[in-house]
Structure 1
Amino acid sequence: MAIAGKNAVIHDKILNKYYGARSDDVPKEVVRLAEDRASVVSGRMSLFCTVFMVVLFIANMMFSVRSSTVVTPHFFLWFVPYMIVSVALHEGAHVVALCICGRQADKIGIKINYLIFPAFYVRMNQVLLLPVPDKVLVHIAGISTNLTINLILFVLNSTWVHSSDLGHSLAFAVVALSVNALPVLNSDGYRCLLAWTDVNEHIDNRRNPRWVVGLRILSWIIVIAYIARFLLNYMVW
């Protein structure tokens, strides 16, 4: 069992299941058996990393606006390989950050978010056993890595390569990362918000704070709107 902040999480290693409770509701006899694990990073460091990620976003956005609007038939020769590498680096950064914090990933694979959006993922149930600063580090690791590499490539492209296709690929990556940073659709931004507020999401909505339930409802509204728009465009064509 691990106790971090106001949350207590019990990991059944035999069944590989996780059970959550309020720290105050856990008997003192059980608390004594809890795993005593200090944070790998401090609260200030996790705050610095979050702010630095925002700065990276702003810098990437500035380069995106300056990107050329010209696209050649060779666009996909840049776009497809870069997106594959970006996804691999993104998920790899999550795994590395989790290992640095003394935990391991449960599974790596492909899933369908909200029954419609395909995505690669790293199942990181053990992040529930981490203190808040470490949780934040793990959840922002993927986006921060992508933004850093993206910015380096933006600079190299503007000063040396001068490829409009590469510029478009980088700009598209920024858009995808921006969507992943929004606190909806089970994104990294959503997980980071849960970490900062020291909230462990429960399957049973009745145990979640109202704002978490609200974000879940908003996510479904976005999915329904997306499907409706797709069907409308299909009917028009």
Structure 2
Amino acid sequence: MRVALFATCLADAMFPDAARATVLLLERLGHDVVLPAGQTCCGQMHLNTGYRRQARGLVRHHVDVFEPYDAVVAPSGSCVGSVRHQHAALARDAGDDRLADRADHVARRTWELSEFLVDVLGVEDVGAHFPHRVTYHPTCHSLRLLRVGDKPLRLLRAVRGIDLVELTDAEQCCGFGGTFALKNADTSAAMLADKMRHVLRTGAGTVTAGDSSCLMHIGGGLSRLRAGVRTLHLAQILASTDGSIA
């Protein structure tokens, strides 16, 4: 199986450890992973803010880059959600049925990390060891668009040494939502305050999620509070075999 890493913009620019951990984990499970050098933004940001013409070019480029691979894996439910639910629809709305068909083909082989591990590889115990108290935030796109359900939690429960603590009102949005946090700053801040309060009540030293964007938002708030709680991408915990951060 030819597996390509869809690293995403945030991993490329700000959170490369999430992408590295994804590769480390998949290679440990016996897969050769390729990082296609030509990949760029998938166009989600452009689509969500109304720049549909610019997004079409990015969709076409994304399809060109990832079409040759048997599986495309991303450490991001948000970006995978865009590939599956926006790319082909955008092309069809523009009257480009050929691109839409190609985008559909790529979308059917594109997976968020926990989906790929559980649904494609049939693995829940990935050999991880992380002896720390952790709570899990299910991100909106992975939960509502991709419907990954409890797959991330099943993976975390199999991690040796982990003390996994349930997060109250876990399914509530953290308030990020991309440009939502900019356009609706007061509402976003209130949602973040609720999320941080629930995180702190768990007593966990680590909060994890499958999207770096949500972790950036939550982590920024916790940092400003000097709460002493770190944020780690799910891939980093799953890639850890000695209790340290992968």
Range of TM-score over shorter length = under 0.3
* Superposition TM-score, scaled by structure 2 size: 0.26
* Superposition TM-score, scaled by structure 1 size: 0.27
State which structure, 1 or 2, has the greater radius of gyration over its C-alpha atoms.
1
